Structure 1
Amino acid sequence: MLDDADRRLLRQMQADPEAPVSELAERCAMQPGTAARRLERLRESGVLKGQHAVIDWQQLGFAVEVSLRFTLDKTNPRAFDEFLEQARRIPEVIAIQTFLGRVDVRLSVIARDMGHYQSLYRDQILTLPHISELEALMHVATIKTAERLPI
């Protein structure tokens, strides 16, 4: 379980993930060695999974994002596995989620423009195995992305 000191450290890391341990420790009113040990424990326990670069794909020339919702033909017991294996191979698929309910899988796909998207759709998306239904939702705007958790 997390205590208040762990929560303070995590809040500070969310606010400034590139801050050195000594600075995080100072902001949390603890010794740098204590902060380092706590962070290591949080990593080992899987609470803190790492730090990574967030790249703005739009700055790299991708202007289109589409959310594709799939219902799979579940008469084949390997439908999910085979579909996911193929979907992972498409570089423009930036997220894959599975669901319980009417929709089985959602893919987030990016493309440079509509021509690029149409090509991806025809040549790669429609060739994915076991598709029973497919719905495409054109992304218009991101209103909120929660990069900070309420710790």
Structure 2
Amino acid sequence: MELDDHDRKILRLLQANADQTVQELADAVGLSATPVNRRIRRMEEAGLIRGRVALIDQEGLGLRATLFIFVKTSRHDADWLERFSRGVARLPEVIEFYRMSGEVDYLIKIALPEIADYDAFYKKLIAIAPLSDVSASFAMEAIKNTTELPV
């Protein structure tokens, strides 16, 4: 999808605050409301804007621990991948899940109330599918944590 400067500015503004009215966006971009609304609709229809969400404070929910889990497996067949992917995606603690290149096959980011809760999560994880190695690290501090993409 081809984006011009107005589209990029609209995207930056929406990423910072999706609650803005079309008129507020139009004023900030320097266009009238109708073309701004049309641009937003076009970006939504193209799948560039996938949705609008409320960002919730993780610690405010009592989820004080962020852990990164590194998974290695000796299985790479389609059936195993389907079983593992579906099973991990269903775990509510999982907030990000990636298939990786390099020495680690999968990276899973989870949020838990306490680091001590990792053992219960670990037991659920290893019950999903056979794994060769699972290790985890916890974040001591979030230095940068954003949902805003560079536009």
> How many angstroms does 1:102 deviate by?
1.8
1:75–1:92 Cα change, 3 Å: closer
Aligned amino acid, residue 59 of structure 2: Q
Q: What runs of 5+ residues in structure 1 fail to find an aligned partner?
A: none
Helix, strand or coil: the match of 1:131?
coil
| Residue of structure 1 in register with 2:4 after alignment | 3
> How many angstroms does 1:77 deviate by?
4.1
Q: What is the distance in 2 between the residues matched to 1:120 and 1:114?
A: 10
Is 1:116 aligned to 2:117, yes or no? yes
Q: What is the distance in 2 between the residues matched to 1:148 and 1:109?
A: 20
Structure-1-length-normalised TM-score:
0.89
Cα RMSD, aligned residues only? 1.7
Q: What is the distance in 2 between the residues matched to 1:9 and 1:64?
A: 34
> How many angstroms does 1:16 deviate by?
2.5
> How many angstroms does 1:128 deviate by?
2.7
For residues 1-151 of structure 1, what are the structure 2 equivalents within 5 Å?
A: 1-74=2-75, 76-121=77-122, 123-151=123-151
> How many angstroms does 1:3 deviate by?
1.1
Extract structure 1 runs of 4+ deviating beyond 4 A.
none
Structure-2-length-normalised TM-score:
0.89
1:146–1:115 Cα change, 3 Å: closer
Q: What is the distance in 1 between the residues matched to 2:50 and 2:143?
A: 26
Q: What runs of 5+ residues in structure 2 fail to find an aligned partner?
A: none
Q: What is the distance in 1 between the residues matched to 2:6 and 2:15?
A: 14
Number of residue-to-residue matches in the alignment? 150
> How many angstroms does 1:24 deviate by?
0.4
> How many angstroms does 1:64 deviate by?
1.6
> How many angstroms does 1:37 deviate by?
0.5
Q: Sequence identity, in percent?
A: 27
> How many angstroms does 1:8 deviate by?
2.0
Q: Residue 83 of structure 1 contacts residue 129 of structure 1 at CA under 8 Å; is this kept in 2?
A: yes
> How many angstroms does 1:135 deviate by?
1.6
Aligned amino acid, residue 149 of structure 1: L
Q: What is the distance in 1 between the residues matched to 2:78 and 2:16?
A: 45
C-alpha offsets along residues 124-148 of structure 1, whole Å, 9 cap, x if unaligned?
A: 1232312011121112111112433
